[in-house]
Structure 1
Amino acid sequence: MAMNQLLLADDDPNIRALVRYVMTREGFRVLEAQDGAEAVKVMEHSPIDIAIIDVMMPHMDGFELCKHIRQHYDIPIIMLTAKDQLSDKKEGYLKGTDDYVTKPFEPEELLFRVKALFRRYNKLSNDIIRMHRITIDRKNVEVSDGQSVFLLPMKEFELLAQLAQYPGRLFSRDELIRLVWGADYEGDDRTVDVHIKRLRQRFADYTDDFNIQTIRGIGYKIVVSER
């Protein structure tokens, strides 16, 4: 089973060390960022399952980072702050955070909140991926637009689901081969290109909902339209 990846964005190295220790001990892989701008770059290159972000950070603060994450990813977010004012909490929730933890905090309490959020998101959205009109049901292996079901070959379905699970995240051909066809696949990696071409043809009428973009010489990513 793949290790769940946690984004930790905080400009305080002591906080990062404490949270990293607790979360790593519980089986999470922790990816760190010192500010919001660095966190955005981390998310562009690595799939993230849950984010813990500080409010007061240079370059891009936690509120703007939370807004960015909510616009591009469907993951749980916990905000950390030294402020306990109702107005700050209100702004955090308006930007899309799921929970709010005030510093100083007990590491075990943060862990409980992470686990609770993670379980809730898994139940609600892990098997269902939505890209506006298009819904991908991983449990029942179905793709539909609300009126009809698309009958996709299994590898096309798995490829679409893998890309859609992490919108905006760039996957190399080698990564997609490993994730969809398996590490022991010995065929031509251009099979990814063939399957991408077929998916584009199937969903040519849904470019207002999402696009599969080619990053020349690297691989592919899905970009979901903003509405």
Structure 2
Amino acid sequence: MSEIEIEGLSVSYGEGRGQRQVVQGADIAVEKGECFGLVGESGSGKSTILRAAMGLAPQWQGRIEIAGVDARKGPRPAFLRKVQMVFQDPYASLHPRLLIGEAIAEPMRVNRLPRVAERTVELLEAIGLTAAHRYRYPHELSGGQRQRVAIARALALDPEVLLLDEPTSALDVSIQAEVLNLLNKLRAERGLTYLIVSHDLAVISHMCSRLAVMKEGRIVETLGREELTTGAAAEAYTRDLIAASR
């Protein structure tokens, strides 16, 4: 069994005549410890797949199972202990009036985990910050530091899987590589599995061993890193996407 199993996923928004299908019959299997990418143009349905997995897209059909827990039928607390999401905009994902330490500690307190204060410091150090950052607010940090905190918060419940929605697109180019390297380091150290969405093929090539290409809500092709690097894609759309990124 794969760590992430998505079968026949279709997602719609709206009702009646205004209903619009944004994902159609997506199948994805990601092995434990793997980083798998989703690429495609804006509006192709990449982020919608992550949102459906996290329960943020209510109208979906198909099957989503992550770390052995069914996203629809399984107990919600158990699911959230297994999988967490890191969003595109780190400032929007952190409460502006919560100290950084409180933001990281909150999920642990809600779930009544032990050693909350100690684990908060450990997580800050794991993302390259210090214990002193506990007492700062989000607006007192740089964009890269805020995204590191968002990653630490996602790790607070010690999940097995992270869903990463354009995790570096809101950051300066000079900071993007640092955050990507941190994510690779954390995956290796903690045995994490990633499903990452990006419009940037360079990000996907750096992070992922395999990727799926999406167009108009459908997965048109699945590639390995070598095929991405050499441009040896079967679909003309994928070849155009690779050529446009060079």
TM-score, length basis structure 1: 0.35
Q: TM-score, with normalisation over the residues of structure 2?
A: 0.33
Higher relative contact order (CA 8 A, sep 6+): 2
